[in-house]
Amino acid sequence: MQTNLPLNFKDKLDQFTEQWSPKVIAEMNDYQFKLAKLQGEFVWHNHPETDETFIVLHGKMTILFRDNSIDLNAGEMFVVPKGVEHKPVAKQECHILLVEPRGVTNTGQTSSNLTAENDIWI
Amino acid sequence: MQTNLPLNFKDKLDQFTEQWSPKVIAEMNDYQFKLAKLQGEFVWHNHPETDETFIVLHGKMTILFRDNSIDLNAGEMFVVPKGVEHKPVAKQECHILLVEPRGVTNTGQTSSNLTAENDIWI
């Protein structure tokens, strides 16, 4: 549901506790902005059809790649290129804003018990 | 230029002083992430072909519409729908992250001395 109100990240983050379960807060054309809470280790996966943007709002996370890794702190972002295998991890709970096309599943081509229902709005 | 390093908003913002002159820091598919510093009043304009996303990083701004307005503080975002006339204003300098398709001009269909050169990367 699109609104005419400012979208406040903290207010929206307060509305859910689930980890690894992105919630849509806005759409821009056919792209979505999703908030997510991460802690622990995600699964290796990739998105063959699209880049994926991670913006860290609170805490810190690491994105593992097969041959290196990148540490992201609050106030930092990174775009994972399409098709590149990656695995997000976070020791402490980390809050992020994801930007990607509508319809992207969090685990990409990988089937996992961490695969979240898609297109859940808050 | 896309990098394999985390993009730190503060570090990037420290690299320029111009106001109303968005600088590209990353691309996701055919979309761009741009940092901008705003102060004063922009011009009325619209983008007939695309929505435009404002994310406030520091300070506060207001987006005026023909029939209402929206106040945005740090940690808040808003998506201006395509074709909707709007005028960003900020009393004090405000730092924002814009997300929109590659090729969008800051003043949209309006010709102005505030029209900035496009696709400037930092």
To the nearest whole Å, the CA of A8 is away from the closest chain B CA by 4
Question: 3-state class of B15 per DSSP?
Answer: coil
A24: in domain = yes
- Overall size of chain A counted in residues: 122
The reply to whether A106 falls in a domain is no
The answer, for A47 touching chain B at a CB cutoff of 8 Å, is no
pLDDT value of residue B1? 46
Interatomic CA distance for residues B66 and B89, integer angstroms: 14
Minimal CA separation from B6 to chain A, in Å: 6
Amino acid at A33: F
pLDDT value at A4 more than 80: no
- Report the mean per-residue pLDDT for chain A: 95
Domain count, chain B: 1
DSSP string, B21-89: --EEEEEETTEEEEEEEEEEE---B--TT--EEEEEEESEEEEEESS-EEEEETTEEEEEPTT--EEEE
Segment A47-73 shows an average pLDDT of 97
Given a contact cutoff of 8 angstroms between Cβ atoms, the answer to whether B55 and B77 are in contact is yes
CB contact under 8 A, B99 and A5: no
Helix (H) or strand (E) holding B11: helix B9-13
DSSP letter assigned to residue B121? B
Percent of chain A with pLDDT over 90: 88
Nearest to B27 by CA among B54, B7, B47: B7
Range in A3-7, A112-116, B23-27, B104-108 with the lowest mean pLDDT: A3-7
Cα angle A121-B68-B83, degrees, rounded to a multiple of 5: 70
- Say if A5 falls within a structural domain: no
How confident is the model over B18-25, as a mean pLDDT?
A: 97
pLDDT in tens, B35-74: 999 999 999 999 999 999 999 999 999 999 999 999 999 9
A60 touches chain B (CB under 8 A): no
Q: Does residue B112 lie in a domain region?
A: no
Instruction: Give the one of B25, B29, B70 whose C-beta lies nearest to A6's C-beta.
Output: B70
A65: part of which helix (H) or strand (E)?
strand A60-65
Start-to-end CA span in chain B (Å): 8
Is B1 within a domain? no
Give Rg (Cα) of chain A.
13
Q: What is the pLDDT of residues B73-90, one digit of tens each?
A: 999 999 999 999 999 999
Instruction: Judge whether A59 lies within some domain.
Output: yes
Average pLDDT over residues A26-54: 97
Say yes or no for a CB contact (<8 Å) between A26 and B70. no
- Number of DSSP helices (H) and strands (E) in chain A, helices first: 1, 8
CATH code: domain of residue A21: 2.60.120.10
Taking the Cβ of residue B3 and every Cβ of chain A, the question of whether any pair is shorter than 8 Å is answered with no
Q: Which structural domain range is residue B52 located in?
A: 16-101
Is position B89 within any domain? yes
Amino acid identity at B72: L
Q: Tell me what the mean pLDDT of segment A63-86 comes to.
A: 97
Within a domain: A7: no
Question: What integer best gives the mean pLDDT of chain B?
Answer: 95
